[in-house]
Structure 1
Amino acid sequence: MDRTERFYKIEMLIKSRGSVSFATLMDELEVSRATLKRDLDYLRTRMDAPIVYERDSNGYRFEQPSGRGANGRAQEASHELPGVWFSERELHALLTMHQLIQGLDSGGMLGRHLQPLLDKLHGMLGTTEGEARELMRRVRILSPAQRPVAGKFFERVASALLERRRLQITYYTRSKQAESDRMVSPLRLVHYRSTWYLDAWCHASEGLRRFALDALRGAEVLTQRAKDVAMKTVEAELDAGYGIYAGRDVRQATLLFSPGAAQWVANELWHPRQELEPQPDGSLRMRLPYADDTELLMDLLRHGPDVCVEGPPALRQKLQQRLQAALGHY
């Protein structure tokens, strides 16, 4: 059995028998003398278990609390191990997940709220502060081109989302270089390419909209109940396009990647509904849906001469214009 199971068994044996000898614990747990000593020490120092050795019975028991209850009777021991337990492997996985969250957490708001939990996880692992820091250094998350979100706005958006309340936001639209005030019902938080977005029902335009949280200039949680929109509807309308850009006019792009780029692109997920067709010469044909071509064009420009747009003609023409404009700088 692993250490977690041993802790529970030690707890159960002492509770059920009142006092258990060291030899009996060794036999029941099937562990060495040194291992049992470490387990008992861990339960006392890390988990605050009031385990004491009683010389008269030559066994271990739970120390009775001092004082009496409201009825005048002596209080009984009430120690309980935590209701949720993890193995060491699971704890390391949770710490790794925390590191991942920190990598996504450009404003520091998530890490701040998770720190108490992180401290408890380190305690359960039995690691020192130095060992904990070394463990966290073993995982590194790089998030290029991050667009930080103001912590106070993120927290208000998250609170409204969880409490199902409406938000009054001031939003800066970059394309118009103007601010607007809107009442929205938050539906979903999305983290995409180092940036946080809010999918919400906009009560001004009476439709689903996606807002970049770094473009918020104000956010206040209202008392009004948020409008309920089925998640299937949200996904159908906002996730059908390519990347973060939504749209109802979905078209099909056909792209041909060179043999050099194909070995990389073949393992990339550009869209959940993409279709890949390897070619005899080693090149790769990809078909995928898109609505707004903004982000698709950016990804195509990243591949430069290693990709050719076979269709539709409008997308091919836009990419040609972008390439010509870029060439004009040199």
Structure 2
Amino acid sequence: MDRFERIYQLHRILSGRRTPIANKELQERLECSEVTVKRLITVMRDHFTAPIVYDRQLNGYYYDNQNGAHPYELPGLWFNAEELWGLLTCHTLLQKLSRGLFGDHIIQLQKRVEKLLALDQSSAGRKLESVKILTMSARQKGINPLFNKIASALFDRQQLQLTYQARSHGETSERAVFPQTLVYYRDNWYLDAWCHTKNDLRTFAVENIKAASRLNQTAKVFTREQLEDYYASAYGIFSGKAQHLAKLKFTPERARWISDEHWHSDQQGRWLDDGSYELTQPFSDHRELLMDILKHGRHVEIIEPEFLREAAQQEIQAMADIYQKNLAP
């Protein structure tokens, strides 16, 4: 138990007692020496103005709450060691994953937490630097300055008017939408929303939203079950009800990895007699699934459906044609 944890424990011990507690008992419960107990009490008094009093007659310490309107509590936010490191780690992850997107909103929280960490004798920075995150697919357009406006409308359940440029064909359109969910997927942000133009639920890449304005109208909010039924039934970021099942066969070599991977909540897998692994995936739009299949190269075969096999064959042939041109005659 380190110093930080002991202060937290000491507060809990004193808060839960109506009678003084002896130094010897504190030593046993805090797993430290008599000198350490006295140092902890000094820190509590000096840094947190804790009303710790020593009763000579009863030979013990207690909180003097007689002069306060409420029982003493540690000032500001306080967590035990595991909770605090978990909170700071989550903050670090969020900053790295979203490149500082929410930094301004939680900077005060971070300062208060860092103040508590100053009580720990080890380096907070060194511990957090031990966590390394590699982002591989983030589209380098920076943070969309409209993000906060979009998030605010979502939280307030307000409709939005969007100017959106579709990446598939590059055309720009105006959309009135009911924002439903912000999604962080493969290092990029997306907005799930009901689109009036398409009269259906759609997914918008946040970095491709060119303009956004709040409309003075309440947005219709779909239940979590409705959203899950629409967005989560198919594979990847492409929305819509799953209409197909892809059956994939991975070689024994690659099966050792694939058998432990989670591609979709409704996937099914089984080992085959030859050591290969069969994975079944529900999907609607095949484009993202096909990309994920092809990255395994010769280690995977699409068993069904036939149109997905044909799409893979066409892609592989197109790739072969590129390299065939570069071969010497």
Which amino acid in 2 is paired with 1:298? M
Contact 1:254 1:286 in 2 (8 A): yes
Give the deviation of 1:165 after TM superposition: 1.6
The aligned counterpart of 1:101 is: 94
Which residue number in structure 2 is paired with residue 306 of structure 1? 299
3-state SS of the aligned residue for 1:244? coil
Q: Secondary structure of the equivalent of 2:102?
A: helix
Could you tell me which of 173, 186, 194 is aligned with 1:180?
173
Q: Quick one: which of 146, 150, 154 aligns to 2:138? A: 146
Where in structure 1 are there 5+ consecutive unaligned residues?
A: 65-74
Q: Cα 1:153–1:50, aligned 2, differ >3 Å: closer, same or farther?
A: farther
CA contact (8 A) 1:63 1:77 kept: no
- For residues 62 and 174 of structure 1, do their structure 2 counterparts lie closer, same or farther at Cα, with a shift above 3 Å needed? same
**Conserved 8 A contact 2:248-2:304:** yes
Q: 1:6 aligns with which of 7, 10, 35?
A: 10
Residue of structure 1 in register with 2:243 after alignment: 250
Alignment root-mean-square deviation, CA = 3.1
Corresponding residue to 2:197 among 175, 200, 204: 204
Provide the residue aligned with 1:72 in structure 2.
none
Structure 2: state its 5+ residue gaps. 324-329
Q: Deviations over 1:218-256 (max 9, x none)?
A: 222333212121111111111111111112351011111
Aligned residue pairs, count:
311
The 8 Å contact of residues 46 and 123 in structure 1, kept in 2 or not, is answered as no
Q: CA deviation at 1:205?
A: 2.4
Which residue in 2 is equivalent to 1:271? 264
* Separation in structure 2 between the aligned mates of residue 134 and residue 8 of structure 1, nearest angstrom: 28
Structure 2 residue 236 is the aligned partner of structure 1 residue 236: no
Distance 1:151 1:51, change over 3 A: farther
Q: For 2:268, give the aligned amino acid.
A: E
Matched, 1:29 2:14: no
Could you tell me the TM-score, scaled by structure 2's length? Answer: 0.83
- Secondary structure, aligned partner of 1:300: helix
In structure 1, distance between residues paired with 2:292 and 2:161 = 34
1-structure distance, mates of 2:121, 2:35: 24
Q: Would the aligned equivalents of 1:187 and 1:199 in 2 still touch at CA under 8 Å? A: yes
1:1-330 matches, within 5 Å, as 3=6, 4-10=8-14, 26-27=23-24, 29-30=26-27, 32-49=33-50, 80-82=73-75, 85-106=78-99, 108-127=100-119, 131-147=123-139, 148=141, 150-248=143-241, 250-330=243-323
Distance in structure 2 (CA, Å) of the matches to 1:129 and 1:40: 17
Displacement of 1:208: 0.8
Partner of 1:40, secondary structure, is helix
Which letter maps to 2:115?
G
Provide the secondary structure at the position in 2 that maps to 1:319.
Answer: helix
Say which SS state the counterpart of residue 94 (structure 1) adopts: helix
Verify the 8 A CA contact 1:262 1:283 in the aligned structure 2.
yes
Q: Which amino acid aligns with 1:26?
A: N
Corresponding residue for residue 67 of structure 1: none
Q: How does the TM-score come out when normalised to structure 1?
A: 0.83
Q: Using the aligned pairs only, state the percent identity.
A: 38
Structure 1 residue 29, shift from structure 2 partner: 2.9
Shift of the 160–49 alpha-carbon distance from structure 1 to 2, 3 Å rule, reads farther
- The whole-number CA distance in structure 1 between the counterparts of 2:264 and 2:236 is 8
CA shift digits 1:80-121 (9 cap, x unpaired): 325864211221122222222123213x12133223222222
Q: Distance in 2 between matches of 1:113 and 1:130?
A: 27
